[in-house]
Amino acid sequence: MKLSARISTSAALLLALASTVGCTKLRARDQLVKGVQSFKSGKYEEAVDHFQQSVQLDPDYDAARLYLATAYAQQVVPNLDTPDNVKVANQALEGFNYVLSRKPDDLGALQQIASIHRNIKQFDAAKQDELKILSIKPDDANANYTIGVIDWQTAYKNSTTILTGAGLQVDKPGQKVPPAVCSRIEAVNKPLIDDALKYLQAAVNVNPTFDDAMQYMNLTYRRKAEIECGNEAAAKADLDQADMWVTKSMGAAKANELAKEKKASGGIDVSK
């Protein structure tokens, strides 16, 4: 009798525990639903509160953690590395890195992390993020494009720093740059320019009408012309390439616009 009583008591306790766990998960789900509603209404701080409560109720609720990270990410101001903005960014990064700890090949989380790093001007980290994306999806046109843009931005910053330090201007037509100054720019920018051209070309290979990538091909060839250092024929060839990419970019942009108009018109080819 005593043994039967113990078994009945244990069963009751397990049932009560299961009921409590089930109730907790339901409350976590309820907070998630409320958070999603706030998120869709653009009330991101309110959404964060709900998602935080959902995670506190159920720490293993991956969906709540992902939504929490996304709500933080929505509050990150682009191109701003102030302490407050970096703090919010780090909160978002923490959530997306948790997702990656559970699923290392999650492209969505990697793309969010890359975007956040760019927004707080951590470009080296952003480039590494994009390379991870390419290791999973080599034909990702946007990842290739973004690496090219980061390389170009870094090269442009290098040129600006060196030229202004020598009392010169960036991209000033007819400006004579002393050989020593040009050599300094070449030393730091040549690897970046080669890298940028490689990844931008890859982006265009994947997406033949990627007009933004073509425009950065133009800009990168202009940076390349800058480091030819007295080789006028090579500089002219680079500028000719830049002009060619301008023309290609304009053609691709027109084709993309026509495609959008065709889709909006319900399939009627407006180019005819």
Q: What are the domain boundaries of the chain?
A: 140-272
As given in the structure block, the two tokens for residue 240 are 């000719």
Given this model, what pLDDT does residue 57 score?
86
**Residue appearing with tokens 């290791």:** 135
Digitized pLDDT (tens) for each residue of the chain, 272 residues in all: 343 444 455 554 544 444 444 688 888 888 788 888 888 888 888 888 988 888 888 888 888 888 898 999 999 999 999 999 999 999 999 999 998 998 999 999 999 999 999 999 999 999 999 999 999 999 999 999 999 999 999 999 999 999 999 999 998 888 899 999 999 999 999 999 999 999 999 999 999 999 999 999 999 999 999 999 989 999 999 999 999 999 999 999 999 999 888 888 765 444 44
**Is residue 217 within 8 Å of 200, Cβ to Cβ?**
yes
Nearest-angstrom CA–CA distance, 79 and 81:
7
Nearest-angstrom CA–CA distance, 215 and 259:
19
Query: pTM higher than 0.85 for the full model?
Result: no
